[in-house]
Structure 1
Amino acid sequence: MKAGHPFRVLVLCTGNSARSQIGEALFAVRGATRFARTVEAESAGSHPASRVNPYAVETLAHHDIRWDGRTPKSIAEVEGRPFDLVITVCGNAREACPYFPGATAQVHWGLPDPADAATPDAAREAFARTYDALSERVDALLALPLEAMDAGQLSAAASRIHDTRPVPVF
């Protein structure tokens, strides 16, 4: 990883309205105060939704992260930009983008779609579990010595982070 510039993360999903938005928010907020090297985060989708899911905004607000006014982006909007790490958080995005040009390292953190919940109460619970799962993974990744890791080490460590933590069930 290049020293001196921010560590750049891209979180990919299908609609860029739920999981990837939460992931971007967590990296942006927690990575901005990282001691060794700050983190810049973006997110995008293979088939972006028309808006960020209101339950994602509500869940982030519950954790004092203001995320209203955001708009889902297409993968085409971030193509060609360099990223130190690209994370897919859904199987469809992984299939649509098995390799992201410009990514130094790539990993899959597959999580169920909280937007599939059938009722408002179930949706709030699903989004809360998704937030918790991503929060745990983001914290573990940001605790790594990112500055000293090459692409292979980063990919392996990011995969272990996902593989050793429970995937929420809803």
Structure 2
Amino acid sequence: MKILFLCTANSCRSILCEALFNHLAPAAMRAYSAGSQPKGSVHPLSLQTLAQAGIATAGLYSKSSDEHAQLHPDLVITVCDKAAGEACPVFFGTAQKAHWGLADPSECQGSAEEITAAFTATLAQIKTRIDVFLALPYADLSAAQRQAELARIGSL
């Protein structure tokens, strides 16, 4: 199963999702990430937060969704905190789609500690969602059941 996480800049939220999913998921599942308007670099606090959680960061980089044109993902999950699809308009073929909105931790205002805490909290929220997703009997669910479960997970 291939999962593509999309957001706007591909420097925080989708990068955190890609790295954490690949850290937790079995080998038969693989996550990728991209942005509709990639910044071209991963936010340093994304990398720091992942490293502090013991999650590999090698190979992570900010990229456009165009780079995955031939990926043919099974599932596309937008993680923009705006309306689903608004800032992340690219969907891939017949892939199942879901929206797991996350606030952008790079937009947090405050002290260095508060900003770092926003990244840590975002990673924790992603972990909760991925843990629930990985516990699903995904292959045994109908398309409608999968969609309902994906929506439920997106509200956690």
Normalised by the length of structure 2, the TM-score is: 0.90
Q: Give matches, 1:20-39, under 5 Å.
A: 20-32=14-26, 38-39=28-29
Supply the AA of the counterpart residue of 1:59: T
The number of residue pairs the alignment matches comes to: 154
Q: Which moved more, 1:127-136 or 1:23-32?
A: 23-32
Superposed displacement of residue 158, structure 1 = 0.8
Supply the AA of the counterpart residue of 2:16: I
Q: Does 1:149 align with 2:144?
A: no
Cα–Cα, structure 1 residues 116 and 73, in superposed 2: closer, same or farther, change >3 Å? same
Unaligned residue ranges in structure 2 (runs of 5+)? none
Cα distance in 2 for partners of 1:74, 1:15 equals 9
- Identity among equivalent positions (%) equals 40
Aligned partner of 2:105 in structure 1 is: 114
Q: Does 1:64 align with 2:54?
A: yes
Contact 2:7 2:78 in 1 (8 A): yes
Aligned partner of 1:88 in structure 2 is: 78
Unaligned residue ranges in structure 1 (runs of 5+)? 1-6, 166-170
Runs of 4+ in structure 1 off by over 6 angstroms are none
Normalised by the length of structure 1, the TM-score is: 0.83
Q: Does 1:9 align with 2:6?
A: no
Aligned partner of 2:93 in structure 1 is: 102
Superposed displacement of residue 79, structure 1 = 2.3
Supply the AA of the counterpart residue of 1:17: S
Q: CA RMSD in A?
A: 1.8
Aligned partner of 2:118 in structure 1 is: 126
Q: Give matches, 1:131-142, under 5 Å.
A: 131-142=123-134
Cα distance in 2 for partners of 1:68, 1:125 equals 23
Aligned partner of 2:30 in structure 1 is: 40
Cα distance in 2 for partners of 1:42, 1:21 equals 8
Superposed displacement of residue 95, structure 1 = 1.4
Supply the AA of the counterpart residue of 1:115: S
Contact 1:13 1:46 in 2 (8 A): yes
